[in-house]
Amino acid sequence: MSVAVSWRPMEPRLVGPGPYRATRLWNETIEHFRGGMPLRKHRCHFKSYEHCFTASEAVDWLHSLLRHNQNFSPEVTRTQTVQLLKKFLKNHVIEDIKGRWGKEDFEDNSHLYRFPPFSPLKPYPKRSSYRKEIVKFPNWNDLERDSFQEHIPVKPIVLNSEMWFKRHSIAIGEVPTCRLVHRRQLSEANLEEIWKSMTLSHLQKVLGLDSLDDMLDTKLVNPKHIIQNVYHVNKQGVVILEDKSKELPHWVLSAMKCLANWPRYPDVKQPTYSGFERDVFRTIADYYGHMKEPLLTFQFFDVFVSVLGLQQKEKLAIEALQVCCILLPPENRRKLHLLMTMMARISVNKDLPPLCDAVGTRILMVQAFSRCILCSKDEVDLNELLATKLVSFLMDNYQEILNIPSALRAAVEDRIAHLQRVQIKYPGADTDTTLPAPSFCHQISTDEFEHQRTNSCQEPLVGLLEEIITDTKTSIKEKKKKLKRFQKSYPDVYKKRFPTSESEAVLFPEKSKQKPTLLAWALKRPFQPFQRTRSFRM
């Protein structure tokens, strides 16, 4: 149910990175608009209306607010402000003087509008007060129990290698020896998991967030894209595509080179008619405008919007965008790189004739390509305003942003080199220490967690029990003593191996105890001469 609220002017504040940043910006803008928009008495059709405003007054005031708000860009246009007010009317942030909204169209004129008496703020996604966080750890023995037991609903038995061997040394009465594992090559799946894990962890750290779950579905992140964007590039740093069918059409690429190098592009002869450069520009804009999905993709919209909150810290924003851009599909990154290079060169090219009489070249670049670069599926979000700010920042810093993040690359390569070095491995360990242990965790089901908890803890115990059974150097008496200790310490594991007493008896077959025969008994007795006994007859 909507609740009536009172509104008062508020000081603009920077909306930092984090989940639901677009929703927070939407609510923040509405609060400023309702709290600061001047309301007064107006007359229309011989009738007076209190506490209202005209459409033009709303456009003037909101346009000034957006241009001077640090969450948006000074390059916000009046047309974009009108588009935002149309969304306000559609979502009942404002209504006309007769109380109509939703289906009405907003225009920059003298039509009267007012604020509804109820809160129009967009609610945040609700989350339950208690949610089971089941975490999948690739290597149980590499983790301390106290470091993550508060994040999972069940308290599993998890021991690191030192604790594990200490416990079994007490139970069994001996300390196992270790051995060296020689260097071996990691599989392609191992390398992909390392790149994905460390890239997402690095992005999470730069954004200063506890988790990326609320803004990104990590299952959709393709590690193959990351690796190709990092290593398959030309001298200019542009991605080289393996699938040539995803390349830009030749005529679009030629048109982009023509404007980017105007008027010194050797492959195109000097135009023979006026307005040639405008036709070339419209051709490029038309191609990018008809793409089904923006270059930064719908999937990564929330991540890129969150980075906008770091623009006060330019170095952090650039580093975050570097990481975000290597998550993109290679064909998207290549198209983005070529487009940003063209836009930046056109904006500073004084030899290029004006491409539009109404606005400057830089503003034209932002208006023409912002929607094909960043856009969401949600019409309520401030798509155009957020895209304007991001594209302006990309134009000013595209050379650094589209570089490979050197710190991340060095960290990943060091990690891979470390895993391929000679390492120490103890007998009975439940995992191969040469395999990577990704630091980024994935949510799993309760059943899978219980299966992992049971198997990961019992596998080394089962191996240890088999070592005791197959040990030929230990005497039977000592072996029975060890097995008795093991059974006392781990009855469940022991019962699985020896479910019945008969199965345990097979391990130690008893020797047959047959009664000796009369002949054998006689032979064992010492020889005595035969003596005749007296007759008892009287």
* pLDDT tens digits along 433-465: 444 444 445 566 777 777 666 666 677 788 888
Residue closest to 93 by CA, chosen among 183, 20, 2, 199: 2
Range of lowest pLDDT (402-411, 481-490, 503-512): 503-512
328: pLDDT strictly greater than 60: yes
pLDDT tens digits, residue range 334-359?
A: 999 999 999 999 999 988 988 998 88
Confidence grade of residue 514 (pLDDT, cut at 50, 70, 90): low
Q: What is the distance between the alpha carbons of residues 465 and 478, in angstroms, rounded to a whole number?
A: 14
pLDDT tens digits, residue range 370-418?
A: 999 998 887 656 778 888 889 999 999 999 999 999 999 999 999 998 8
318: pLDDT strictly greater than 90: yes
| Confidence (pLDDT) at 223 | 96
Region 492-515: what's the mean pLDDT? 72
Residue 62: is it exposed, middle or buried by C-beta count within 10 angstroms (0-12/13-18/19+)?
buried
| Confidence (pLDDT) at 455 | 66
Is the separation of the CB atoms in 320 and 203 below 8 Å?
Answer: yes
**Of all helices (H) and strands (E), which one includes residue 59?**
helix 55-68
Homologous superfamily (CATH) of 189-409 is Rho GTPase activation protein (1.10.555.10)
Residue closest to 455 by CA, chosen among 401, 399, 496: 496
What residue ranges do the domains of the chain occupy?
21-114, 189-409
DSSP secondary-structure letter at 491? H
DSSP secondary-structure letter at 529? -
Highest mean pLDDT among 4-18, 154-168, 400-414: 400-414
Q: What is the distance between the alpha carbons of residues 221 and 329, in angstroms, rounded to a whole number?
A: 10
The answer, yes or no, to whether the previous bond of 294 is cis (omega within 30 of 0) is no
Specify the CATH number for 21-114; select among 3.40.50.720, 1.10.10.10, 3.40.50.300, 1.10.3720.10.
Answer: 1.10.10.10
| Confidence (pLDDT) at 498 | 82
Residue 492: CB atoms within 10 A of its CB come to: 9
